Amino acid sequence: MRDFPSCFGENGVQVADSSSSSTARTAQNLVTCVYQCRLRGKWCLITITWTKNLMGQGLSVGIDDSSNQCLCKVDIKPWLFSKRKGCKNLEVDSSKIDMYWDLSAAKFGSGPEPLEGFYLAVVFNQELALLLGDLKKEACKKINSPPVPSTAVLIAKREHLFGKRLYFAKAQFCDKGQMHDIMIECDTVGVTEPCLLIRIDSKMVMQVKRLQWKFRGNHTILVDGLPIEVFWDVHNWLFGNAIGNAVFMFQSCLSAEKLWACQSISSDPSVLAWSWSEKFRDTQLQGLGFSLILYAWKNE
């Protein structure tokens, strides 16, 4: 969670500098998921990052405790990803952490996150902390555990999207809730009055006209009766360099507006980044909702 940048500082949304090439942008093709669970009687965060670049697919697993101290981190580098099945055993502060994965039959879409045919399990002191994938029976057999669901809850997701006018993502705004299709539409090339449209399951839920004046803002929508605060920053699309990205955040959190206000106090990008990361993380640890951050890159 510590590397989640400030979404809405003018400089904070820059993920690549002006000298970057399209190859460098391809390297940004990653998905980060943050899960909350209880380890040693305390709330902890398990961060799973799926990556895809010219070297292939990669995976990173990190565990942080409630005081933001990193307990451990395991990286499966893309150039080693030909070994798609394995395990890693660690001992941290007299506790045993075991990680098991099998992606040998995994199926991927356009992004780096596997869709099916895989499992990833994190075991803490012989207790299942996190289990991902559809091969749950195979995973439980491997770790010698009964097929019981893990108590970990997805609380945040960060994803990079690529497109020219349309950007697509999926989100589950509450635990065990319905999976929704998100479509962001914005044409800024050769358009005198750019307009931003957001659709959930093909239904338009938000429209921003006069975008050159409203390139940053927030709006509340309803999804499954749940208020979702939508923040957007498309400054780079309209006024930045050719490879700039827009940033969107969907937050099912009643205090999201307070986070926005706290973030707006300072104009120093470094302060903004630190403030936003801390507020964002504290909010998630309090169990106040789910957050989806989307970095939308325009293809050349």
How is the chain split into domains, by residue range?
30-154, 162-298
The stretch 185-213 carries a mean pLDDT of 90
The stretch 244-270 carries a mean pLDDT of 58
pTM, rounded to two decimals: 0.78
Percent of the chain with pLDDT over 70: 75
Position 46 pLDDT exceeds 50: yes
- Alpha carbons 102 and 115: distance in angstroms, whole number: 13
Confidence class for position 81, pLDDT limits 50, 70, 90: low
**3-class state of residue 132 by DSSP:** strand
In Å, how far are 14, 234, 236, 268 from 18, measured between CA atoms?
A: 9, 17, 11, 20
The 10s digit of each residue's pLDDT in 217-255 is 999 999 988 899 999 999 999 887 666 789 999 998 644
User: Which of 256, 266, 265 has its CA nearest to residue 232?
Assistant: 256
The stretch 130-146 carries a mean pLDDT of 88
The 10s digit of each residue's pLDDT in 104-114 is 889 988 889 99
Locate 19 and state its tokens: 């000298």
The stretch 257-275 carries a mean pLDDT of 39
pLDDT score recorded for residue 180: 94
Task: Identify residue 75 by its one-letter amino acid code.
Answer: D
pLDDT score recorded for residue 272: 35
- Alpha carbons 161 and 125: distance in angstroms, whole number: 37
Q: Out of 55-59, 116-120, 190-194, 281-285, which region has the weakest mean confidence (pLDDT)?
A: 281-285
pLDDT score recorded for residue 2: 37
Q: Out of 12-26, 66-80, 199-213, 254-268, which region has the weakest mean confidence (pLDDT)?
A: 12-26
| Summary mean pLDDT of the chain | 77
Position 61 pLDDT exceeds 90: yes
**3-class state of residue 78 by DSSP:** helix
Position 29 pLDDT exceeds 50: yes
The stretch 169-197 carries a mean pLDDT of 87
pLDDT score recorded for residue 92: 80
- Alpha carbons 194 and 65: distance in angstroms, whole number: 44
